[in-house]
Structure formats: C-alpha cells, structure tokens
Amino acid sequence: MKTYKEMSKEELLVLKSELEVQYKTFQDMNLALDMSRGKPSAEQLDIAMGMMDVLNSEAELKCADKTDCRNYGVLDGIKEAKELLGAMMEVSPDNIIIYGNSSLNIMFDTVAHSMIKGVAGNTPWSKLDKVKFLCPVPGYDRHFAITEFFGIEMINIPMTEDGPDMDLVEKYVSEDETVKGIWCVPKYSNPQGITYSDETVLRFANLKPAAKDFRIYWDNAYTIHHLYDEHDMLIEILGACEKAGNPDMVYKFSSTSKVSFPGSGVAAIAASKTNLDDLKKQMTIQTIGHDKVNQLRHVRYYKDMDGLLNHMKLHADIMRPKFEAVIDVLNRELGGKDIGTWIKPMGGYFISFDSLEGCAKEIVKKAKEAGVVMTNAGATYPYGNDPKDTNIRIAPSFPTAEELSKAADLFVLCVKLVSVDKILESK
C-alpha cells in the first residue's frame, strides 16, 4: 500500500474527490459532539453517587480528634483527609496541605504568592526585571494560561518518550537565574500520556538551579488514573529531591477532581516543611479553612487507599474501551499512510495526535464545521502557538460510545482530507 506522499498527483485528486463525498455525508448528519476537554462522562459521575449518602443531618460530623467539621478552623486540612491524600500522593501526611476542590487553584495561588511575597524569603518575582518558566511541550494549556496571566516568559522544552528534554532543562536551570520554575505533568502527561522515566525524575531531583527560588511544579493529576491493571510507575519526587539534597525544590499537586466529582473534589499540595510554612503565611490571611465537610465526605466514602484504587478500576472500565476505540480507528484508517503519529497511553485523559506540519489547525477547523468540537490546535503550546502546527489533543472521555465512534471516524476523515491538500501543494 502506498503512503499518501508516494501517490501521484492524479491519484491524490481522485482520493480527494472520494473523501469530499464522505465529508459531505458527515455534514448532513448535523452532529453536535464535544471532544474539547477532559471531562468525565455522566457514567463516570454516576459511580460516585454513593458519596452523597455518607453524610446527612444525622451523621457524626466530628473527626477522630473531635474536630467539628461544621465550624471554622484547621487551616491545613483534617487529619483523616491528609492521610487519605497522602497515601494517594505517596507522601507523609505531615508534608501536605489540603485546599479546596481544585489543584489548578493551588497552582495559581502558589505562583501568585511567589509574585507578591517571594519564595521562602527571596525577592518577590514582581520586583524582578524578568521571570521565566520552562514549559514541556506539548503540555497543559491551563498551566500556560497561569504563567501568561502573570506576564511570565515561557520557554518551550520538547517532550521525549522519557519526559522533558533534560539536557535542555539542566542547561536553562543551571545557567539562567531568571528561570524560576517548570511545569510538569509527570505521569500520563497531558496530552501525550507519557510517564517520566526513572532517569528523568532523578535528573530533576539533582538539578543545580542558578536561582535559589527555582521550583518544580509537579502536577501529578493522573497519579491513580490507570487504564490497565499493569500500569506505569513513577519515582516519588519529594523523596528523590530530599535524597539529592534539594528538599525544597518541588511543589507537588494532586486532587480527586476526576476521582469523585469535578468541582467537588479535594485538592492538596505536598512539599517540604520550609515550603509549607511559607505558603501557610499567606493562607492565614487568605482563609480560615477550606471545606472540612467535603474532606470528611471523601474520607468516609473512600476510607483508604484500597477504596480509592477499587473506585478507579470502575473509572478504567468505562474509559478503557473509549481509548481503545479511538486508537483502533487511528490504526485502521491512518496506519501506514504516513500522515500522522500518535501514542497509545496507559492512563490519563488524552490521546495526542501529530499531523503533517502545517495541518493541525485546518484539521480541527474541518472537524468543527462538520459538528465535532476539539481542543483548539495550538492549545498545547504556550501562547497557543504550536510552531509546527502539528499537535492535536483528543479527549475521548465525555462522549458516549456511539458519539465517540462517529467523532473518531470524522476526525480521521479530516486528517486525510487536509493531508491530501497539503501534499498536493508540493506536487
């Protein structure tokens, strides 16, 4: 079978005509499907409904230490919640602060704190002439939105199959004191689904920053979001940093937003005592305490790590067929045609697709015109600018199986159409 690039101009024109007929058929379906964000489906939300029953007006709302969760207090989270999320995050409960429902909110607050007050006694970033962040790409658009909001310069760091290009990371971090942080999604990365290798994690832990206030923003959002019983393993970063003599270099974030209910989860930061004490200074002004009732609800429902993992198997049973369906369509329809590449993830919420150069925006546009909304091309890069215009993030979680089948078929059709046009430009 010929690849598209091996086909003659005449063969490509015939193919284009056939593909346009198929595309018109999709347009006539009047589809209205959304694959733009990594949202849990209604079926996934249903499996956590039992959480609504563990607390009621008759329930005991005191913790084991007699803390009344109905009242003010307990700035850093109830003991039981710190134990539960500590187990999920693989750190001691003593190294955790429990916040509200969103780890993204914690990340924003942490950057804001660094801008306003500085990091652990260092000069506030707002008083510096230049502040830079390293951004592994493709990456999470909301990370980039935070740094862009604060006017922080972002530097692209290419992702490899083992994680960020560590040669570049080490060079920037060790040579440039204006580099103050790096965004990381270390397990089942957004959007590629890559898990950082042991070597990558250890190289992170052994960084020698030029800036005393450099921090790794370790967003381990998908730590227990496996698709298969055999899943990726990740070295725990706080312990690795401590062993390397860099205990203060990392902020680690996670939440139950996609475990229980988005918008009603529990989020946490794990860090060294120095970092936590620094952040608490702001928290004492910012809040009297986060939602302890919701913390208690999660503890009463999941109980322990086994409860969390058993619940995540239910998520996996729903998610896995969707991911495999998309991968199967990509393999069947685009395999051997040399017009795109993709990675089969072992967990997380996304499939990353790379088109021919200069095609991603047009593919997304064509899909939208036929009724399927996808994440904007370029969103996985700082400033929404993918220099090669290749990366597209596919989010299979939210549509039903029937909707997903149609959306995947339309997507590969758009890839074919746009690729044919691109190749014809050079014929």
Domain assignments of the chain as residue spans, ordered by start: 4-45+309-424, 72-303
Strand partners, 372: 33
Whether the CB-CB separation of 227 and 260 falls below 8 Å is answered with no
Task: Report the candidate in 315, 347, 316, 313 with the shortest Cα–Cα distance to residue 222.
Answer: 347
How many CA atoms, within 13 angstroms, populate the side-chain half-sphere of residue 361? Answer: 9
> pLDDT band at 396, cuts 50/70/90?
very high
Task: Report the candidate in 277, 266, 288 with the shortest Cα–Cα distance to residue 113.
Answer: 277
> pLDDT band at 334, cuts 50/70/90?
very high
Whether the CB-CB separation of 129 and 302 falls below 8 Å is answered with no
pLDDT in tens, 247-302: 999 999 999 999 999 999 999 999 999 999 999 999 999 999 999 999 999 999 99
> pLDDT band at 1, cuts 50/70/90?
confident
CATH 3.40.190.80 correct for 72-303: no
Instruction: Say what the pLDDT of residue 341 is.
Output: 98
Average pLDDT value for residue range 337-359: 97
Asked if pLDDT for residue 318 goes beyond 90, the answer is yes
Give the integer Cα–Cα distance in Å for 20 and 417: 7
How far, CA to CA in Å, does 274 sit from each of 182, 183, 250? 19, 21, 11
Q: 3.40.50.180, 3.30.300.10, 2.40.50.140, 3.90.1150.10: which CATH number matches 4-45+309-424?
A: 3.90.1150.10
Cα 306 to the chain's mean position, in Å?
Answer: 24
Write out the two tokens for 385. 């600018």
> pLDDT band at 91, cuts 50/70/90?
very high
Task: Report the candidate in 391, 388, 359, 358 with the shortest Cα–Cα distance to residue 375.
Answer: 391
Give the integer Cα–Cα distance in Å for 405 and 347: 20
pLDDT in tens, 123-180: 999 999 999 999 999 999 999 999 999 999 999 999 999 999 999 999 999 999 999 9
Give the integer Cα–Cα distance in Å for 184 and 189: 8
In this structure, is the dihedral angle defined by the CA atoms of residues 252, 257, 258 and 260, taken in order, positive or negative? Answer: positive
> pLDDT band at 37, cuts 50/70/90?
confident
Instruction: Say what the pLDDT of residue 313 is.
Output: 98
How many CA atoms, within 13 angstroms, populate the side-chain half-sphere of residue 187? Answer: 23
Q: In the predicted model, what is the mean pLDDT of the chain?
A: 96
> pLDDT band at 401, cuts 50/70/90?
confident
